[in-house]
A = this chain, B = another copy of it.
Amino acid sequence: MHQPIRRIAITTGGGDAPGLNAVIQAVTRSALQRGWTCVGIRDGYDGLLRPERYGPGEGLIPLTLPRVDGIAALGGTLLGSTNQGNPFAYPVRQADGSTALIDRSQDLLDALSRERVDALVAVGGDGSLAIAHRLAQRGLPVVGVPKTIDNDLDGTVTTFGFDTAVAFASECIDRLHTTAASHHRIIAVEVMGRYAGWIALHAGLAGGAHAILLPELPFDLAPVAEMVRRRDAQGQSHSLVVVAEGAHPRGGERALSGPAEAGHAERLGGMGEQVSQALARLAGKDARCVVLGHLLRGGSPSAFDRVAALRFGAAAVRALAAGLSGVMVALDGNTVRPVPLADVAGRMKAVPLDGDTLATARDLGICLGQ
């Protein structure tokens, strides 16, 4: 049985995602409502592991009501950089100039103890949740909050950040329709998604793409070029192809390159660019590539993501108050519930090949490169 909680800390890890500040607000307000105090750890765990980088006492940010007022609508995170060292494999410069990865988890637990932090809310993706899991195993009460733009975390129906990314990608595709049409072009739109095609699939559907290429479905370009030609024949002289960055051709990247490129394959650019160039050749049309990448991480969270983030944050505090540890809060149907971190860690949620969303794309006649 854990001792009663009086003070908690919150950390945000991994890449930027819209909704982080809403989680911070919800955790703070929920904690204060219970009479606890709340602090944020700067820059992942660095506020505690590298105190010399900050002024004395500056590694932790006291989270008060005025401090978190209005932040739920803001992108980014109050807590600074999200991309910092793993306390179990922390990069430490050696005497010979090289960098070694050292287990500094005990330093972290000691620092938390010194700061009289009784429990931790850890917000992050796969990597950050694995760290959270290991910290919980060491005896620290820890609750994880899932965070991924890519929607590829298992154990939860969705999380915050994904909706904002899809909405903006879809708005970008909307904008490209008329430009592609005016210039009789193919436009390939590359979106995030190294291992899972959720953003490509949802944004492609919402934006009315004519083809969508996903990591889950190795593609051939021949059917895509055929779709472009069929549209041309019907007087629709433009085509939009949404490409997940992790999509890949059935025969490997070499399958995309024409004779000219064969020699210097090293500078092919991302998958959107490669698809664009190969399609131009195959379909005999002008083609361009637009890479949305970084644009999808930032921005003010959508209302959906704000509500999701607030619910996750509040649920994390409720879980701690109930004495839980080693769990992640997850959306299940219409309810946010705790699930064991052990059950979700290291499991990637791909787009199910037999799911109704992919079936919808097929039923709408969208080419999937098959």
Residues of B within 8 Å of A166, CB to CB, are 303-304, 307
Residue of B25, B163, B295, B306 near A176 (CB, 8 A) is B295
Complex interface: stretch among A72-80, A101-109, A216-224: A72-80
- The answer to whether B81 and A299 have CB atoms under 8 Å apart is no
Chain A 337-370 residues near chain B, CB threshold 8 A: 337, 355-357, 359-360, 362-365
- The answer to whether B360 and A75 have CB atoms under 8 Å apart is no
Q: How far is the CA of A299 from the CA of B365 in the complex (A)?
A: 24
Interface string of A168-181 (1 = CB under 8 A from B): 11111011111101
Residue of B183, B334, B357 near A16 (CB, 8 A) is B183
Interface string of A189-209 (1 = CB under 8 A from B): 000000000000011011110
Residues of B within 8 Å of A357, CB to CB, are 307, 311, 334
Residues of B within 8 Å of A288, CB to CB, are 293-294
Complex interface: stretch among A26-34, A134-142, A251-259: A26-34
A305 nearest CB across to chain B (Å): 9
Residues of B within 8 Å of A318, CB to CB, are 356, 359, 363
Interface string of A256-298 (1 = CB under 8 A from B): 0000000000010000000000000000000010110111011
Residues of B within 8 Å of A334, CB to CB, are 157-158, 355, 357
- The answer to whether A81 and B30 have CB atoms under 8 Å apart is no
CB of A167 within 8 Å of the partner chain: yes
- The answer to whether A298 and B364 have CB atoms under 8 Å apart is no
Decide if the interface of chain A is mainly helix, strand, loop or mixed.
Answer: helix
Chain A 143-193 residues near chain B, CB threshold 8 A: 157-158, 163, 166-172, 174-179, 181-184, 187
- The answer to whether B174 and A299 have CB atoms under 8 Å apart is yes
Interface residue total, chain A, C-beta cutoff 8 A:
85
Residue of B206, B317, B333, B356 near A303 (CB, 8 A) is B206
Q: How far is the CA of A50 from the CA of B34 in the complex (A)?
A: 37
CB of A315 within 8 Å of the partner chain: yes
- The answer to whether B363 and A314 have CB atoms under 8 Å apart is yes
Interface string of A58-84 (1 = CB under 8 A from B): 000000000001101111110011110
- The answer to whether B16 and A178 have CB atoms under 8 Å apart is yes
Cβ contacts A to B, 9 pairs, < 8 Å: A25-B364, A72-B206, A81-B181, A167-B302, A175-B297, A202-B303, A318-B356, A332-B333, A334-B357
Rank and list the top 10 A-B pairs by shortest CB-CB distance, nearest first: A76-B178, A175-B298, A16-B182, A206-B303, A175-B299, A170-B303, A30-B363, A314-B360, A75-B178, A179-B298
